[in-house]
Amino acid sequence: MAKAELMDFDKALELFEPVLGFEVHVELNTRTKMFSDAPNFFGGEPNTNITPVDLGLPGSLPVVNEQAIRYSISLGLALGCEIAPSSRFARKNYFYPDLAKNYQISQYDEPIAHDGNVEVELPNGKVFQVSIERAHMEEDAGKLTHVGGATGRIQGAEYSLVDYNRAGVPLVEIVTNMISGAEHDAPELAKAYVSTIRDIVVSLGISDAKMERGNLRCDANISLSPRGSGKLGTRTETKNVNSLRSVERAIRYEIQRQAAILAKGGTITQETRHWHEDTGVTSAGRPKSDADDYRYFPEPDLLPVEPSEALIAELRAALPEAPAIRRRRLKEAWAFTDLEFQDVQNSGLVTEIELTVAAGAAPAQARKWWTGEIARLANLASVDASSLVSPLHVSELVAMIDNGELTDRLARQVLEGVIAGEGSPAEVTKSRGLVVVSDDGALIAAIDEALAAQPDVLEKIRDGKVQAAGAVIGAVMKAMKGTADAARVRELVLERAQQ
Partner 1 sequence: MADLTRLTAAELSQKLQAREISSVDVTRAHLDRIAAVDGDIHAFLHVSSAALATAADVDTRRGDGEKLGPLAGVPIAIKDVLCTFDMPSTAGSKILEGWVPPYDATVVRKLREAHLVPLGKTNMDEFAMGSSTEHSAFGPTHNPWDLDRIPGGSGGGSAAAVAAYEAPLALGSDTGGSIRQPAAVTGSVGVKPTYGGVSRYGAIALASSLDQVGPVTRTVLDAALLHDVIGGYDPRDSTSLKDPWPSFADAARTGARDRSLKGVRVGVVKQLNGDGFQVGVRDRFAESLEVLAAAGAEIVEVSAPNFEYAIAAYYLILPAEASSNLAKFDSVRFGLRVNPKGGGTVEDVMAATREAGFGPEVKRRIILGTYALSAGYYDAYYGSAQKVRTLIQRDFDAAFERADVLISPAAPTTAFKLGEKLEDPLAMYLNDVTTIPANLAGIPGMGLPMGLAPEDGLPTGIQLMAPARADVRLYSVGAALEALLEDRWGHTLISQAPELAVAR
Question: CB 287 → partner 1: shortest distance, Å?
Answer: 16
**Measured from the CB atom, is 22 or 164 closer to partner 1?**
164
CA distance 242 to 221: 15
Residues whose CB is less than 8 angstroms from the CB of residue 287 and which lie 6 or more positions away in sequence, other chains included: 269, 270, 271
Residues whose CB is less than 8 angstroms from the CB of residue 117 and which lie 6 or more positions away in sequence, other chains included: 79, 80, 129, 130, 131, 132
CA distance 352 to 334: 14
Do 98 and 168 contact (CB within 8 A), yes or no? no
Can you say whether the dihedral through the CA atoms of 478, 484, 488, 493 is positive or negative? negative
Does 60 help bind partner 1 (rule: CB under 8 A)? yes
Stretch that binds partner 1, among 14-22, 95-103, 180-188, 391-399 (CB under 8 A): 95-103
Residue 249, SS3 per DSSP: helix
Closest CA to 374 of 343, 341, 349: 349
Question: CB 172 → partner 1: shortest distance, Å?
Answer: 20
**Measured from the CB atom, is 303 or 325 closer to partner 1?**
303
Report the 10 Å Cβ neighbour count for 465. Answer: 11
Burial 144-168 (b: 16+ CB within 10 A, else e): eebeeeeeeeeeebeeeebbbbbbb
**Measured from the CB atom, is 14 or 301 closer to partner 1?**
301
Does 56 help bind partner 1 (rule: CB under 8 A)? yes
**Measured from the CB atom, is 53 or 197 closer to partner 1?**
53
Main-chain phi, psi angles of 240, to 5 degrees: 65, 35
Does 102 help bind partner 1 (rule: CB under 8 A)? yes
Strands 16-27 and 170-176: antiparallel
**Scanning residues 418 to 437, which ones bind partner 1 (CB under 8 A)?**
none
- Return the residue of 1, 3, 58, 317 that touches partner 1, per CB under 8 A: 58
- Return the residue of 43, 85, 97, 266 that touches partner 1, per CB under 8 A: 97
Question: CB 102 → partner 1: shortest distance, Å?
Answer: 4
The answer for 432, left when phi > 0, alpha when psi is -120 to 50, beta otherwise, is alpha
Question: CB 140 → partner 1: shortest distance, Å?
Answer: 17
Does 103 help bind partner 1 (rule: CB under 8 A)? yes
**Measured from the CB atom, is 55 or 355 closer to partner 1?**
55
Does 152 help bind partner 1 (rule: CB under 8 A)? no
Closest CA to 71 of 193, 205, 174, 176: 205
- Return the residue of 67, 160, 270, 454 that touches partner 1, per CB under 8 A: 160
Stretch that binds partner 1, among 92-100, 131-139, 321-329, 401-409 (CB under 8 A): 92-100
Residues whose CB is less than 8 angstroms from the CB of residue 197 and which lie 6 or more positions away in sequence, other chains included: 24, 26, 118, 174, 216
Half-sphere CA count of 253, side-chain side, radius 13 A: 23
Does 55 help bind partner 1 (rule: CB under 8 A)? yes
**Measured from the CB atom, is 91 or 393 closer to partner 1?**
91
**Scanning residues 170 to 229, which ones bind partner 1 (CB under 8 A)?**
none
Question: CB 178 → partner 1: shortest distance, Å?
Answer: 22
Does 64 help bind partner 1 (rule: CB under 8 A)? yes
For partner 1, what does the binding mask look like between residues 288 and 327, x meaning CB under 8 A?
Answer: ---x-x-xxx--xxxx------------------------
Question: CB 290 → partner 1: shortest distance, Å?
Answer: 10
Question: CB 54 → partner 1: shortest distance, Å?
Answer: 10
Does 45 help bind partner 1 (rule: CB under 8 A)? no
Point out which residues bind partner 1 (CB under 8 A).
52, 55-64, 91, 93, 95, 97, 100-103, 160, 162, 291, 293, 295-297, 300-303
